[in-house]
Structure 1
Amino acid sequence: MNIQSKSMLWAALFAAVVMPAAAKAPPEEVAKLGKELTPVGAIRAGNKEGSIPEWKPRPQGGPLKDFWPSYPDIEGEKPLFTITGKNVGQYADKLTDGHKELLKRYPESYRMNVYPTHRVANFPKEILDGSIVNAASSVMNGVDEPAGALLGVPFPIPQSGAEPIWNHKMKYRGNAFRRFNNQMIVQLDGKYTLTKIIEDVKFYYNNPAVKPALELKPGVASIKYVSEIVAPPRLAGTFILAHEKAGTGPQGRAAWLYAPAIKRIRRAPAVCCDNPYEGTDGHQFYDQVDMFNGVLERYTWKLVGRREMYIPYNSYRIAGNKVKYADIARPKHVNPELPRYELHRVWVVEADNLPNLRHTFAKIRFYIDEDSWSIVARDNYDHQGQLMQLQEGHLIYASNVMASTTVPEVIYHFNSGRYFVTAMANEDKPGDASMEFADSYFEPSSIQQRAAK
């Protein structure tokens, strides 16, 4: 074999390792969508024990603005049981490693109240119908190169570990949104400091108002995002702008940062991966925002399968305006009386860091709700194999938008004992889904003009 032939062979072998062959969902599985499977790929029926019920989606209800999501049917429900450090062994097979660690570390104070399960997550009809179409046409040409999806969940019948992550990243959230994001770093004694952020987002992929529907593919902006830090004063006036795209390098995410000290907006390739998000003092990486976002290229991705788990769900109490930030913050962990846990089926995905693209986390195990495709928990491990963090998202279904989201999200740092809470609006305003943004609103020149005022 000559040198050229050997080079071609090695190139082919390398491509086979890092670029898995695209595979569509089997036709016999696609045929189940809208029948024994929901249109987005969840198992419609409950489990045989009856502890997980059949999917019964809630219809649209409520205005797009000034609306706090709620679920009156579950108000007043009492816990079925409580998981504590003493009885954790009975439930260990249905708990994340992070939750087991909290129960082990704080047996006298941490507990998980488990309530009856309700499966109410829903989407607009266009999203449900489009998801069925996508199942027969969407493929993954490498972990950051989806193709063939036009409207709806891109991969309702996942064939690889990367596909559920893309379902989370591209899940339906409305047409545009303004979110009041309050964050706190909580010390071991329960004292905390607050950061206030306003986030504006416009969705291009998975938006029924976009005509013709946008294909999810590299180089095309699927989401445009801008955040402004408004408090504390030392950070106020900081802007982050991002155009989220599939792909990597020049085709992938484009990001900019405006810092008041410099008074101009600059390209910011560091708005990525395990670089700390502005204002979090290192307690949240950029790719931990919204539980996970950004490129997948630093990991190999394994689809472990479905599993029944106790996860934060229907968390309207901790997300609502009747709870203050001081009610949430407690020493070592959030107030255990506020979260609500339920038994649900989740997709489990494991990500292992590639040696040539190092990340702070050597391994991540993701838990993704089958009904909403929302990441609701993740175990983050360091390069010594030790559990470094638990990240959990408290899931709610917002009936006014017909979308699910995690509010708040909590990151427990096991090395320091501190924890970080983000996506809180309790003492502010609910998200505004009535917003309309011109495309020019998300251009660097517009941010420069806003910042200069």
Structure 2
Amino acid sequence: MYRAGRIMIAAAAMLACGSATAAVSADEAAKLGNTLTPVGAEKAGNAAGTIPAWTPLTQHPAASLKGEYTSDAAIDAEKPVLTITKANMAQYADKLSEGHKYLLKTFDSYKMNIYPSHRQVAWPAEIYKATAVNATKCQLLGVDNPDGCSLGFPFPIPKSGAEVIWNHKLKFRGEAATRYNNQMIVQPDGTFQFTNIVEDVKFYYGSIAKPVPLTKDAGLFIKYFSKIQGPPRLAGTLILVHERAGAGPEGRQAWLYAPALKRIRRAPTVCCDNPAEGTDGHQFYDQVDMFNGILDRYTWKIVGKKEMYIPNNSNLIAGPKTKYKDIVRPKHLNQDLPRYELHRTWVVDADLRAGTNHTFRKRRFYLDEDGWQIVAVDCYDANGNLFRFQEGHMVALANVLGSGTLPEVIYHFDTGRYFITALANEDQPNDYTRQFDESYFDPDAVQKRANK
């Protein structure tokens, strides 16, 4: 999810968050496709041989843009090579997020099944070509305004934590899509409340057919529409978002349609740590897609790259053979389903900036190096205590070529509840064949659809 006074706002952002970051040199960019993959990951495996070299997935000729869940027969048939539990977690602590350590330490029933590592994430040739151009051209003004960027990953050789996060936000996801984003609020005893949501989205920056560049004067990159279909008390609630770069009036524009009011209205609260509609406070708006929206409430720092056990190639938990009731267990997911692998990850710290506010005083993000995908987030409260943890179960997409997280989980350590989102197991997989007229995402058009 996703211009009056723009110069003043941009200037203020740069003063608060730092000046523009410089594009890399031609010599550095020449590493792309050589020692680095075309999007900036280390191409080689690790010295121990526990992380393989990058062997990108090629688009299967029969892969359909509609009606197919992610799967790989060879990978899905593999057995764990290791299981991490409370009893042996100390041996692997240096490769675990703080959230995973908390879960292992707290619950005897929690475990992490570790499988052989596979680095299959690949992207279309157009993305590779555009990424190489961006490396020497794209800049970040402050933390919220990419400038001179088009189609590909904006910062394949990042120099700041904010640049790493923008790679996640702008990654290619196809031209447009309809998806089910079903959600469950799970109580400590394992009972759950289910919400059914359908989303439509059109990508502008990441469109191969008609890419829309991001500059300091133009920042639209996504249009998004969602409809809650159940439970009855929430059914008919609609959210419309025009996702733009920028932190002020030039940034995100959002609207909310509430059935009780029967009208669509501007919704500036579709932002940051305001509770997302239909989640009963269990997900903030900026936790959707692991992280989205403005960066300017935080300072951002690259901690480094680290070998970590992360959710990856998680086809089983996201597939149609797994039913919703199979996923849920008291206190945490059914840990027979997730698949964890050893991968190199980018580690980025976000610390609350002076003069701003957010429920999370600090966040530590972990991103898979091949997919530029956030796969875990440690979330800390105002007292510096770890009290929430996000986990995204990453899959490699063979149809559009890319990566995503299905499902995503938010553990609430303060209440014992957890929240699951991006579930489509018992409905339909993402439909990437959708085409939307520009008018589809206009507020007036949404109002007319609601009135039918």
Residues 56-102 of structure 1, C-alpha deviation per residue, up to 9 Å, x if partnerless? 01111211111111111212211010000010000000000000000
Structure 1 counterpart of 2:231, one-letter code: P
Task: Report the Cα distance in structure 2 between the residues aligned to 1:14 and 1:354, rounded to whole angstroms.
Answer: 12
Aligned residue number for residue 5 of structure 1: none
Task: Report the Cα distance in structure 2 between the residues aligned to 1:88 and 1:218, rounded to whole angstroms.
Answer: 50
1:344-355 map, 5 Å: 344-355=343-354
Structure 2 counterpart of 1:304, one-letter code: V
Aligned residue number for residue 264 of structure 2: 265
Aligned residue number for residue 101 of structure 1: 102
Aligned residue number for residue 356 of structure 1: 355
Tell me if structure 2 keeps the 8 A contact 1:332–1:417. yes
Residues 264-285 of structure 1, C-alpha deviation per residue, up to 9 Å, x if partnerless? 0000000000000011000000
Q: Secondary structure at the match of 1:164?
A: helix
Residues 10-31 of structure 1, C-alpha deviation per residue, up to 9 Å, x if partnerless? xx99955523342222333211
Aligned residue number for residue 6 of structure 1: none
Relative to structure 1, the CA distance from residue 200 to residue 17 in structure 2 (aligned partners, 3 Å threshold; closer, same or farther) is closer
Task: Note the C-alpha offset of 1:218.
Answer: 5.4
Q: Secondary structure at the match of 1:183?
A: strand
Aligned residue number for residue 8 of structure 1: none
Task: Report the Cα distance in structure 1 between the residues aligned to 2:371 and 2:215, rounded to whole angstroms.
Answer: 19
Task: Note the C-alpha offset of 1:396.
Answer: 0.3
Aligned residue number for residue 183 of structure 2: 183
1:142-153 map, 5 Å: 142-153=142-153
Task: Note the C-alpha offset of 1:303.
Answer: 1.0
Tell me if structure 2 keeps the 8 A contact 1:218–1:251. no
Aligned residue number for residue 123 of structure 1: 123
Tell me if structure 2 keeps the 8 A contact 1:301–1:350. yes
Relative to structure 1, the CA distance from residue 416 to residue 150 in structure 2 (aligned partners, 3 Å threshold; closer, same or farther) is same
Task: Note the C-alpha offset of 1:444.
Answer: 0.2
Tell me if structure 2 keeps the 8 A contact 1:146–1:218. no
Tell me if structure 2 keeps the 8 A contact 1:218–1:245. no
Task: Note the C-alpha offset of 1:451.
Answer: 0.7
Residue 425 in 1 paired to residue 424 in 2? yes
Aligned residue number for residue 205 of structure 2: 205
Tell me if structure 1 keeps the 8 A contact 2:308–2:342. yes
Aligned residue number for residue 76 of structure 2: 75
Q: Secondary structure at the match of 2:356?
A: coil
Q: Secondary structure at the match of 2:271?
A: coil
Relative to structure 1, the CA distance from residue 328 to residue 150 in structure 2 (aligned partners, 3 Å threshold; closer, same or farther) is same
Q: Secondary structure at the match of 1:74?
A: helix
Aligned residue number for residue 65 of structure 2: 64
Structure 2 counterpart of 1:333, one-letter code: H
Task: Report the Cα distance in structure 1 between the residues aligned to 2:383 and 2:420, rounded to whole angstroms.
Answer: 26
Q: Secondary structure at the match of 1:250?
A: coil
Task: Note the C-alpha offset of 1:357.
Answer: 1.1
Task: Report the Cα distance in structure 1 between the residues aligned to 2:434 and 2:388, rounded to whole angstroms.
Answer: 35
Matched-pair identity in %: 59
Relative to structure 1, the CA distance from residue 341 to residue 217 in structure 2 (aligned partners, 3 Å threshold; closer, same or farther) is farther
Task: Report the Cα distance in structure 2 between the residues aligned to 1:363 and 1:376, rounded to whole angstroms.
Answer: 17
Relative to structure 1, the CA distance from residue 13 to residue 248 in structure 2 (aligned partners, 3 Å threshold; closer, same or farther) is closer
1:195-344 map, 5 Å: 195-210=195-210, 213-215=212-214, 217=216, 219-344=218-343
Structure 1 counterpart of 2:88, one-letter code: N
Task: Report the Cα distance in structure 2 between the residues aligned to 1:14 and 1:203, rounded to whole angstroms.
Answer: 26
Task: Report the Cα distance in structure 2 between the residues aligned to 1:29 and 1:76, rounded to whole angstroms.
Answer: 40
Structure 1 counterpart of 2:92, one-letter code: Y
Structure 2 counterpart of 1:281, one-letter code: D
Structure 2 counterpart of 1:91, one-letter code: Y
Aligned length: 440
Task: Report the Cα distance in structure 2 between the residues aligned to 1:248 and 1:340, rounded to whole angstroms.
Answer: 37
Aligned residue number for residue 167 of structure 1: 167
Task: Report the Cα distance in structure 1 between the residues aligned to 2:93 and 2:216, rounded to whole angstroms.
Answer: 40
Task: Report the Cα distance in structure 2 between the residues aligned to 1:13 and 1:241, rounded to whole angstroms.
Answer: 28
Aligned residue number for residue 370 of structure 2: 371
Q: Secondary structure at the match of 2:214?
A: coil
Structure 1 unaligned segments of length 5 or more: list them.
1-11
Q: Secondary structure at the match of 2:94?
A: helix
Tell me if structure 2 keeps the 8 A contact 1:181–1:424. yes
Tell me if structure 1 keeps the 8 A contact 2:14–2:141. no
Tell me if structure 1 keeps the 8 A contact 2:190–2:329. yes
Relative to structure 1, the CA distance from residue 178 to residue 216 in structure 2 (aligned partners, 3 Å threshold; closer, same or farther) is farther
Structure 2 unaligned segments of length 5 or more: list them.
1-10
Task: Report the Cα distance in structure 2 between the residues aligned to 1:307 and 1:89, rounded to whole angstroms.
Answer: 17
Structure 2 counterpart of 1:197, one-letter code: I
Tell me if structure 1 keeps the 8 A contact 2:76–2:315. no
Q: Secondary structure at the match of 2:249?
A: helix
Task: Note the C-alpha offset of 1:143.
Answer: 0.2
Q: Secondary structure at the match of 1:28?
A: helix
Residues 374-418 of structure 1, C-alpha deviation per residue, up to 9 Å, x if partnerless? 100000000101001110000001101112100000000000000
Aligned residue number for residue 8 of structure 2: none
Task: Report the Cα distance in structure 1 between the residues aligned to 2:56 and 2:251, rounded to whole angstroms.
Answer: 35
Tell me if structure 2 keeps the 8 A contact 1:127–1:172. yes
Q: Secondary structure at the match of 2:444?
A: helix
Q: Secondary structure at the match of 2:255?
A: strand
What TM-score, normalized by structure 2, do the two folds share?
A: 0.95
What TM-score, normalized by structure 1, do the two folds share?
A: 0.95
Task: Note the C-alpha offset of 1:220.
Answer: 2.8
Task: Report the Cα distance in structure 1 between the residues aligned to 2:162 and 2:279, rounded to whole angstroms.
Answer: 28
Structure 1 counterpart of 2:72, one-letter code: Y
Task: Report the Cα distance in structure 2 between the residues aligned to 1:117 and 1:80, rounded to whole angstroms.
Answer: 10
What is the aligned-residue RMSD (CA, Å)?
1.3
Aligned residue number for residue 39 of structure 1: 38
Aligned residue number for residue 18 of structure 2: 19
Range with greater deviation from structure 2 (19-28 or 269-278):
19-28
Relative to structure 1, the CA distance from residue 316 to residue 216 in structure 2 (aligned partners, 3 Å threshold; closer, same or farther) is farther
Structure 1 segments, 4+ long, off by >6 Å, are: none
Task: Report the Cα distance in structure 2 between the residues aligned to 1:15 and 1:263, rounded to whole angstroms.
Answer: 41
Task: Report the Cα distance in structure 2 between the residues aligned to 1:15 and 1:397, rounded to whole angstroms.
Answer: 36
Tell me if structure 2 keeps the 8 A contact 1:219–1:247. no
Structure 1 counterpart of 2:391, one-letter code: E
Task: Report the Cα distance in structure 1 between the residues aligned to 2:333 and 2:215, rounded to whole angstroms.
Answer: 38
